[in-house]
Copies of this chain bind each other. A is one copy, B any other.
């Protein structure tokens, strides 16, 4: 399922290949976020043109709306959404903690109220596995508890123990039901390393999950408000204890520089809402750092969003025109920056893959970071 093609002698970075029921994912890979069965403002055909190899879907959201009966009726999330390449679904654990109302964490799972209509819901380890088998994703994530940040060490340890007991119950569910979706296709399962900012807890989690033997491993509980150094430390204290031959995924990360830093720390897969979320505010990623397109300085700018990273779908449009669309509240402006930002992220990991194959990852990383951070700051930009 996972094959290591090259490793960087100077860091933990790896070039790999993940073979899934719906296609091959070359790693390091970036997964656009399709929370509700669609990546914001982008069609499946466009995603494909952007070079997306795999997207993420959210168990919590899809279970509430359209609901499992609809997905089951269509056969799978693939059939429902018409995205035919691989899908990874999260377990619902993170959303239960970030979105749901009146949640009660018990040993059996989490009782909560839907953020949509307040209706009473429950997700536990087995429920999460069942829902993801109906969604029929290529990769299903284990159900975990995501502690808030900051979090005391004792509290983090208690939470981690619950996550590990839930992981064991997921494992038992998989052994009982077979590692497959309701369509009969092979489904891969990734464990999630928790432990907040505490290196000993991260180590304990990684080792315990490795012993249970999953198909891959994720670092969770990052990008929850912690400083960047702590995010790096959470990954650094996890990856060395994870089996080398399995894929590793940093959940919910990150900015372009953070992704390169995480690749250097042995991460193979990423998902992040930043490319589409920042697009909504008119922020475009460029090789020279992010720019805020509404800025007056773009009023007469004939150039594309980023001359060095232009996709056929966006290259034709000037910054001045996209600025106009944004100021006028026109959806095409949002669409163009979404496409551009997603393309920027795909280009970044594509470049990392090529550099890892060529043995030049250190230079690639250094050159990207140096240029990305070098532009004098412009007040109207991020």
Also in contact, A330 and B38, with CB within 8 A (given A80-B320, A80-B321, A82-B316): yes
Chain B residues whose CB sits within 8 angstroms of the CB of A69 once the complex forms: 300
Of A195-203, A216-224, A331-339, which binds chain B?
Answer: A331-339
Nearest B residue (CB) for A325? B38
Across the interface, do A332 and B38 meet the contact criterion of CB distance under 8 Å?
yes
Chain B residues whose CB sits within 8 angstroms of the CB of A316 once the complex forms: 82
A320 to chain B, nearest CB (A): 6
Q: A127 on the interface (CB 8 Å rule)?
A: no
User: Chain A 13-55, CB within 8 Å of chain B: the 1/0 string?
Assistant: 0000000000000000000000011101111010000000000
Complex: how many Å from CA A29 to CA B302?
Answer: 32
A195 to chain B, nearest CB (A): 33
A343 to chain B, nearest CB (A): 15
Nearest B residue (CB) for A328? B36
Across the interface, do A37 and B324 meet the contact criterion of CB distance under 8 Å?
yes
Copies in the complex: 2
Label chain A's interface by main secondary structure: helix
Q: A327 on the interface (CB 8 Å rule)?
A: yes
Also in contact, A321 and B65, with CB within 8 A (given A36-B330, A40-B330, A73-B300): no
Across the interface, do B299 and A66 meet the contact criterion of CB distance under 8 Å?
yes
Chain B residues whose CB sits within 8 angstroms of the CB of A41 once the complex forms: 331-332, 335
Across the interface, do B80 and A43 meet the contact criterion of CB distance under 8 Å?
no
Chain B residues whose CB sits within 8 angstroms of the CB of A335 once the complex forms: 41, 43, 331, 335
Q: A168 on the interface (CB 8 Å rule)?
A: no
Complex: how many Å from CA A38 to CA B335?
Answer: 12
User: Chain A 268-305, CB within 8 Å of chain B: the 1/0 string?
Assistant: 00000000000000000000000000000001101000
A114 to chain B, nearest CB (A): 13
Chain B residues whose CB sits within 8 angstroms of the CB of A36 once the complex forms: 324-325, 328, 330
Our pick among B42, B74, B302 for the contact of A320 (Cβ within 8 Å) is B74
Chain B residues whose CB sits within 8 angstroms of the CB of A300 once the complex forms: 69-70, 73
Complex: how many Å from CA A128 to CA B334?
Answer: 31
Q: A347 on the interface (CB 8 Å rule)?
A: no
Q: A318 on the interface (CB 8 Å rule)?
A: yes
Across the interface, do B324 and A70 meet the contact criterion of CB distance under 8 Å?
yes
A332 to chain B, nearest CB (A): 5
A281 to chain B, nearest CB (A): 15
Residues of chain A at the chain B interface (Cβ within 8 Å) = 36-38, 40-43, 45, 61, 65-66, 69-70, 73-74, 80-82, 299-300, 302, 313, 316-318, 320-321, 323-325, 327-328, 330-332, 334-335
- The 18 listed contacts between A and B (C-beta, < 8 Å) are A36-B324, A37-B324, A40-B330, A40-B331, A41-B332, A41-B335, A42-B332, A43-B332, A43-B335, A45-B313, A70-B320, A73-B320, A80-B318, A80-B321, A80-B324, A82-B317, A82-B321, A335-B335
Besides A43-B335, A82-B316, 5 more A-B contacts (Cβ < 8 Å) are A36-B330, A37-B324, A37-B328, A38-B330, A70-B300
